[in-house]
Amino acid sequence: MEKQIPVTNNTPIFQVDAFTDQAFAGNPAAICLLSGKTDTAWMQTVAAEMNLSETAFVTPLESGFELRWFTPVTEVELCGHATLAAAHLLWEQAVTTDTEIYFHTRSGVLAALRNKRCIELDFPATPATPAPCPEGLSSALGTEATEVLRNQYDYLLRVESESTVREMKPDFTRLQTIDTRGVIVTAPADGSDCHFVSRFFAPRAGINEDPVTGSAHCTLAPYWENILKSNKLTAFQASERGGTVHMELRDDRVILGGTAITVLTGTLTPAASRP
């Protein structure tokens, strides 16, 4: 794989809208292209400055790239939309072939492959199992769940209908008291364009509502596969910006498919560039 991230005094940074083919939709991520290792505290400061749900930092390695993800307040273990955005950007800026890109992350090695329709990400499945509903969660969401599950990251709540998902207005102050990274809310889709809809809330991670959450679909895919008896699924995350995610279950992996578009290019000045 040919790759070259230029070394300059000004650090390149981009904003990419992921899981959409239209600007100003999907989930925006900032992508910072680094030429070498840098300081974690600096990365967190840049992420706070960008103030998006995720800022990703990409560093070339001998066998792929290191990829790290930060919300405005913390580093996270797994992020789908910023991985999609990073792969899209690397094929635009640094990688000259269509061979797979390998990202070395805190969740292991993640592969990205580009085809004519979309970019596919090979992620670990993170299925959830039935769990009691924690005290205060239903009142924070303003609705009762028909089913409650949990995995190592998030709660997963199924609610009555797509309209329930779309019309939900959580109390984020109360939701922040729930001991979890985030809360996924889902229901069957009303139409034929997709199989289910969802929303994702993570105020404890500094994100009241994430527009489109790839990692949440690593939980949603095995849940809906068990119900719909299909390993190929399409979903719509019904946030204000909205976005479409394609999924295919392959044993303990989820192939997430989506498109992305670069909406902003720039540089961090020498005063703000990595130490």
* Distances 23 to 74, 75, 214, 262 between C-alpha atoms, Å: 27, 26, 18, 8
CA-nearest of 144, 80, 139, 137 to 112 is: 80
What type of residue is 186? T
At 9 the pLDDT is: 64
User: Are residues 101 and 198 both part of a single domain?
Assistant: no
At 98 the pLDDT is: 86
In a domain, 19, yes or no: yes
Longest Cα separation, the chain: 54
User: Are residues 48 and 136 both part of a single domain?
Assistant: no
> Which residue has tokens 């913390």?
74
Residues catalogued as catalytic: 54
Distance CA 99, CA 260 (A): 18
Contact criterion met (CB below 8 Å) for 246 and 118: yes
User: Are residues 109 and 172 both part of a single domain?
Assistant: no
pTM score, two decimals?
0.90
**End-to-end CA separation in angstroms for the chain:** 28
At 4 the pLDDT is: 52
User: Are residues 86 and 181 both part of a single domain?
Assistant: no
pLDDT in tens, the chain (275 residues): 445 554 456 899 999 999 999 999 999 999 999 999 999 999 999 999 999 999 999 999 999 999 999 999 999 999 999 999 999 999 999 998 888 999 999 999 999 999 989 999 999 999 999 999 999 999 999 999 999 999 999 999 999 999 999 999 999 999 999 999 999 999 999 988 999 999 999 999 989 999 999 999 999 999 999 999 999 999 999 999 999 999 999 999 999 999 999 999 999 988 788 76
At 95 the pLDDT is: 93
Is 97 strand, coil or helix? coil
Q: Which domain holds residue 138?
A: 129-243
At 212 the pLDDT is: 97
Q: Number of folded domains in the chain?
A: 2
CATH code for position 92: 3.10.310.10
At 7 the pLDDT is: 46
For 24, other C-beta atoms within 10 Å of its C-beta total: 10
Contact criterion met (CB below 8 Å) for 221 and 233: yes
User: Are residues 114 and 167 both part of a single domain?
Assistant: no
User: Are residues 143 and 224 both part of a single domain?
Assistant: yes
At 270 the pLDDT is: 82
Distance CA 83, CA 203 (A): 21
> Which residue has tokens 């840049």?
46
Tokens coding 194: 């997709």
User: Are residues 69 and 141 both part of a single domain?
Assistant: no
At 2 the pLDDT is: 47
Where are the strands (E) in 19-163, listed by range?
A: 27-33, 54-61, 64-70, 75-76, 101-105, 108-114, 119-124, 129-130, 147-150, 154-158
User: Are residues 121 and 211 both part of a single domain?
Assistant: no
3-state helix, strand, coil in the chain (%, to 5): 20, 40, 40
User: Are residues 113 and 171 both part of a single domain?
Assistant: no
* DSSP 8-state assignment for residue 107: T
